Amino acid sequence: MPLEYYALGMIIAFFVLVLTGMPVGFAIAAVGFLFGFIGFDGWLFELLPSRIYGVINNTTLLAIPLFVFMGVMLERSRIAERMLDVIGHLCGGLPGGMALAVILVGVLLGAATGIVGAAIVTLTLMALPTLVRRGYKKTVACGTICAAGTLGQIIPPSLVLLVLADIMNLSVGSLFAAALMPGLMLSGMYLIYLLGLAYFFAADVPAIDEAERSTINRLELFKDVCKVVIPPLLLVIAVLGSIIGGIAAPTEAASVGAVGALLLTAVSGRLTRPVFSETVSTSVRISCMIFFVLIASQVFALAFRGLDGEFLIEAMFDWVPGGMYATLIFMLLLIFVLGFFLEWIQISFIAVPLFLPFLTGTADISMVWVAILIAMMLQTSFLTPPFGWSLLFMKGVAPPSITTGDIYRGAIPFVLIQVIAVGLLLAFPGLVLWLPELIGW
């Protein structure tokens, strides 16, 4: 039997194991070992120790646990809860003002934490009952919160970008710089959509009533902005600015972010022993999951390439007519479809490395641009039914009156906006590349 058939069997076996509920790290390793022994009696894995050593010797990956710690600590400090209250009252006079506030808090929370689960759960518990109580349509409220909570996957510092930088052998700083404008553009598109709803369907997104707004002390509101919104914003600017500007390495900037989050939590009076202990344990658990999948993926990649899987992928791309752009669109569509069934980390460690040999052989294509396109498309996997993690996180903590149908229907417009955003980045690569080129990355 040709080796390519074994490679195809690896992909099918991996999907079957993941859909049965097996943890992704175990599924990747099990499939890799099984087919590696079938095809080569195991001698191929003599190369495995050197590949694993190459992974754990990559100092850039130290930024992952540090950024995770920074995000979890800020989430535990309840800064997001207070930000939503302050920004909500600033925007509350507008129809749809509270929804706009949720998106703006999602931007700040995404830049500060980058952890979808924490952002979705926090925003759902804080904002969903308030939005529904104020008369917001349930689907709009659910979709807005889900979309806002996923912004941290494209707005740096992002775990998705860190992982893609390692997989695609790119500079973390260049990806952070390249993702900044697309992330803000996507956030702006969300805001435009909500403003359009407010204009045409004001009853679905009502403003805060005049009686409540009249009780707000503007001086106190200004003080709250200075105390609640500006400090985490300055921390994010310091972390991102030092990486993008080339002042600090990603690990150094992540260390500053972790210490800064610790200080902000202490100043807010929330730094207690239980909070610190829970933050450390959560950070270790998330980081271990990522590193375990990263190491397990080396087993899969070694067996897949040994079984001539690269020729299988190359043949698949050769079937696509229309040149480089058509091939790129085909890859993005494939990632989009995979997002209905798999989470981003599975797609990143399995699908993306399969495409890389073909893409890197194309001379007139920027891999930084490709990485941002992949990251934007990966972000849709959080919102696409039936297994979008944002939807599942929300359903887990939403009130009983919120149905799964409400959440799914609310997410669809934001998925379409994300697809439109990917189309804009495809048509105008300068949106991605202008900042990295400007600062010399």
pLDDT band for position 93 (50/70/90)? low
Which DSSP string do the residues of 175-190 spell out, in sequence order? HHHHHHHHHHHHHHHH
Phi-psi region of 322 (alpha: psi -120 to 50; beta: other; left: phi over 0): left
Largest CA distance in the chain: 77
Q: Is the separation of the CB atoms in 335 and 351 below 8 Å?
A: yes
Print burial letters for 197-231: b (CB count within 10 Å at least 16), e (below 16). Answer: bbeeeeebbbbbeeeeeeeeeeeeeeebbeebbeb
Q: Is the pLDDT of residue 32 over 90?
A: no
Tokens 């080569």 belong to 40
**How many other β-carbons are positioned within 10 Å of the β-carbon of residue 245?**
12
Tokens 């073909």 belong to 358
Tokens 């707005």 belong to 155
Tokens 């989009």 belong to 336
| Domain membership of residue 193 as a residue range | 3-438
Tokens 């507008």 belong to 94
Q: Is the pLDDT of residue 420 over 90?
A: yes
Per-residue tokens: 300: 């899969």
Question: pLDDT > 90: what percent of the chain?
Answer: 8
Sign of the dihedral defined by the CA atoms of residues 88, 90, 96, 102, in that order = negative
Q: Give residue-wise pLDDT tens across range 160-189.
A: 888 888 888 888 888 888 988 999 999 999
Q: Give residue-wise pLDDT tens across range 49-58.
A: 877 777 777 7
Q: Is the separation of the CB atoms in 260 and 239 below 8 Å?
A: yes
Give the span between the Cα atoms of 374 and 376, in whole angstroms. Answer: 5
Give the span between the Cα atoms of 418 and 176, in whole angstroms. Answer: 19
Q: Is the pLDDT of residue 312 over 70?
A: no
**152 residue type, one letter:** G
Give the span between the Cα atoms of 294 and 14, in whole angstroms. Answer: 15
Q: How many domains does the chain have?
A: 1
Give the span between the Cα atoms of 396 and 379, in whole angstroms. Answer: 20
- Non-local (6+) Cβ contacts of 171 within 8 A are 165, 441
Q: Give residue-wise pLDDT tens across range 258-271.
A: 888 888 888 878 88
Give the span between the Cα atoms of 344 and 349, in whole angstroms. Answer: 9
pTM of structure: 0.79
pLDDT band for position 228 (50/70/90)? confident
Q: Is the pLDDT of residue 356 over 60?
A: yes
SS3 383: coil
- Mean pLDDT score, 114-139: 76
Q: Is the separation of the CB atoms in 7 and 309 below 8 Å?
A: yes
